[in-house]
Amino acid sequence: MIKSFKKNIKGILIEGLTLSSAVVIIAIVVVMVTVIVIGGKNQISWEFLTSFPEDGMTKGGIFPAIYGTALLVIIMSIAAVPFGTITAIYLTEYAKENSIIAKTIRFAVRTLAVIPSIIYGLFGLGFFIKFVGTTMDSTFLGGHLKWGQPNILWASLTMALLTLPVVIVSVEEALKTVPDDLRAASLALGATKWQTIWKVVIPGSISGIMTGTILAVSRGAGEVAPILFTGVAYYVATLPASFSDQFMVLGYHIYVMTTQSANVDKTLPIQFGTTLVLLALTFILNISAIILRYRIRKKKIN
Amino acid sequence: MANKTKMSKRSELKDSQLIDITKKKFRWGDFLAEKVIKGVAFLSITIIVLIFVFVFREAFPIFSSSKSADQVMSAGNTAAGQETYGEVTDKPVVQDAQETYGEVTDIKDKEVKSKDSLTAQADDEKYTVSAGSGFDDNQSALKTVLTKDWVPVSQKPRYGILSLIVGTFKITIISMLFAAPLAIMAALYTASFAGKRMKEIIKPTIELLAGFPSVVIGFFALMILASVLQSVFHYDTRLNAFVGGIAMGIAAIPIIFTITEDALTAVPNSFYQASLALGASKWQTAFFVILPAATPGIFAAILLGIGRVFGETMIALMATGNAALMDLNPFTSVRTLAATIGAEMAEVVFGDTHYNVLFLIGSLLFIFTFILNAIAEFYVKGKLMKRIQGK
């Protein structure tokens, strides 16, 4: 009797300990969200979202940062989503499960996913700006400096490399949920392999491609390190009009305002407001991705 | 058994006769599509190779014997390239950046780190001394790399990365001590004890946390966490390795949790049932059967968590104080490798020694995370499979 009670005590202790760890993690998330919402909610207004910074960034809105972030993720998605989807199609439809090529590609994708984002920044600087950019300048513009410096195109492409694994992984997961019977049926009706992929497999996994895109956009909107020296600017008076312009981004705006602005206390409301906007953006994107993915998994079970 | 037939069925489908029949006629469309898809699929491998090549290429000049001013020019791409980044982008950047990190972090910082005031001063000098002047001798720069003074911009620059490495490891250890037990325990709870409803709360929360931009976590650490922790622990420097470590731990929790949970749920159900049949209780099964069976996976989770913390830039920039001190006290400011790149790259002259050293640091970071990932991938996975399948 006593022995079993002792056993029980241990069990309760261990279960309680693990439960409290889970609760602590949830609490951390809740506290972070609450603090930022409380700090920033008074700042959010239509004007804040749609006007330019004023008075040396101590007043005004964050419209250029929102616009820059949107432009960045759009160019990034155009680059990353097709390539990511095609890679996923190769891995699931063409490559043999245990071939060396497939294994190498999978390893490369997972490596891409863990490389620190700052390394992508260095790569963007070394490859896009200093190699591609300066080569373009010297061949097309006769040495006139246009592409050999940070701009939105290079920043978006750098970000696309960073988000490529995100797209690949979620599209691959979705492609695997398309039943093999459907493929076999399509092939049996005389469709070629490519026709099967294009007409049967891809439509069946469109929600997976969307999930991948959303997750990639969410990641791209929040990352700052890769674009630190590939195109982001502290302040630009005009919105970026061409690929060779610099631009502002929400995440970098937060960083600069908190660590390098002349008067940190004065801009505190703007900092909280910007953080809230960025957090809300990534939250909405992530929640929709979670819901989409939940549906895909449900489909898989059926 | 059922699994096996399914497997063979699938592989049959892949190169079955069905496809062979359709292949009777050679189709250009299909042929091209396959080649294009295959080509694109190789892109991810190409990117890895390119990253290797280009990050090392920019770091390489530091190893060449000496560099003439001419080379600096060509690397910097004509006179325009000689201008610093800050100037190219915008004037205000330079002006604002003049308030060095030391000042931004805290005024108290400076008083405490009297030893470090030298560094802070050197940071100030950066903007008075024309950057990149007078120091073209890479050989002597290389000699300073393995010292502990990180004074990249002064009349006599020294690029000692030892203090940066120590700082990075300090933060990594603190964050792992915080995040690993928390995440592993939570994962054990989710995998072994939690009911369906609790799971539906925990998992999406973790996914949301994974989606938190690191700059937001950094902001939270800088604004709130730093003050709270200071009032609890009563240390002098507001921004220090401890605050940075906790913040990075928060960023690493989702990674550790997800991989650990995957490893725990991958343990076959028969383990669980066998343990219960032998009379073990639920918690004994969880603690003495499931958890040990999944240790290689947990090890991988911690490795990838370390990789995340090691390369984290924005949190390090915002919450660690950014002073290159070399001691083992968790409550002093540190400067990590990644933060150094992030803070200084924007202000260096292209092709300068300082620029090359920053790329050298980048190469170190890259090699380190690459190796961590490779270990997690090959060694641990092989072991996990062996243990679970009992081969």
Residue A207 belongs to some domain of the structure: yes
- Residues in A touching B24 (Cβ below 8 Å): none
- Residues in B touching A32 (Cβ below 8 Å): 212, 216-217, 220, 250
Give the range of the structural domain holding residue B167, as residue numbers without chain letter. 64-391
Q: How many independent structural domains does chain A possess?
A: 1
Residue A32 belongs to some domain of the structure: no
Residue B162 belongs to some domain of the structure: yes
Residue A26 belongs to some domain of the structure: no
**pTM beyond 0.90, yes or no:** no
Residue A292 belongs to some domain of the structure: yes
Query: A131–B54: do the CB atoms touch at under 8 Å?
Result: yes
Residue B235 belongs to some domain of the structure: yes
How far away is chain A from the Cα of B149, in angstroms, using its nearest Cα? 23
Query: A228–B43: do the CB atoms touch at under 8 Å?
Result: no
Residue A13 belongs to some domain of the structure: no
Residue A23 belongs to some domain of the structure: no
The answer to whether residues B333 and B244 touch, using CB atoms and an 8 Å cutoff, is no
Residue A17 belongs to some domain of the structure: no
pLDDT band of residue B329 (cuts 50, 70, 90) is confident
- Give ∠ CA B51-B57-B63 in degrees, rounded to 5: 140
Tokens of A61: 């809105």
State whether residue A178 sits within 8 Å of chain B by CB: no
Q: What is the pLDDT of residues B266-324, one digit of tens each?
A: 888 898 899 999 988 888 898 889 998 888 889 999 999 999 999 899 999 998 888 88
Query: A117–B286: do the CB atoms touch at under 8 Å?
Result: no
CA distances from A153 to A68, A71, A74, A79, A159 (A): 11, 10, 11, 10, 10
Closest residue to A233, CB basis, from B90, B211, B281? B90
Give the range of the structural domain holding residue A158, as residue numbers without chain letter. 41-301
Q: Which amino acid is at B51?
A: I
pLDDT band of residue B6 (cuts 50, 70, 90) is low
The answer to whether residues B333 and B237 touch, using CB atoms and an 8 Å cutoff, is yes
Cα–Cα distance measured from residue B342 to residue A24, given in angstroms and rounded to the nearest whole number: 31
Paired with B80 in beta bridges are none
* Average pLDDT across chain B, whole number: 76
ipTM: 0.90
Residue B80 belongs to some domain of the structure: yes
Comparing A300 with A147, the larger pLDDT belongs to A147
Residue B15 belongs to some domain of the structure: no
CATH number at residue A221: 1.10.3720.10
Residue B30 belongs to some domain of the structure: no
- Alpha-carbon dihedral sign for residues B375, B376, B377, B383: positive
Query: A145–B78: do the CB atoms touch at under 8 Å?
Result: yes
Tell me if residue B159 falls in helix, strand or coil.
Answer: strand
How far away is chain B from the Cα of A75, in angstroms, using its nearest Cα? 18
Of B146, B154, B260, whose CA–CA distance to B203 is shortest? B260
pLDDT at residue B18 in the model: 54
- Residues in B touching A188 (Cβ below 8 Å): 18
**Chain A residue with minimum CA distance to B38:** A90
Per-residue pLDDT averaged across B32-57, rounded?
90
Residue B21 belongs to some domain of the structure: no
Cα–Cα distance measured from residue B214 to residue B374, given in angstroms and rounded to the nearest whole number: 24
State whether residue B190 sits within 8 Å of chain A by CB: yes
Is the per-residue pLDDT at A192 higher than 80? Answer: yes
Q: What is the pLDDT of residues B165-215, one digit of tens each?
A: 999 999 999 999 999 999 999 999 999 888 889 988 999 999 999 999 999
Residue A101 belongs to some domain of the structure: yes
Q: How many independent structural domains does chain B possess?
A: 1
Comparing B110 with A236, the larger pLDDT belongs to A236
Query: A86–B36: do the CB atoms touch at under 8 Å?
Result: yes
| Percent of chain A whose pLDDT exceeds 90 | 50
How far away is chain B from the Cα of A46, in angstroms, using its nearest Cα? 22
How far away is chain B from the Cα of A18, in angstroms, using its nearest Cα? 5
pLDDT at residue B16 in the model: 52
DSSP conformational letter for B307 = H
How far away is chain B from the Cα of A47, in angstroms, using its nearest Cα? 23
Tokens of B257: 């949790």
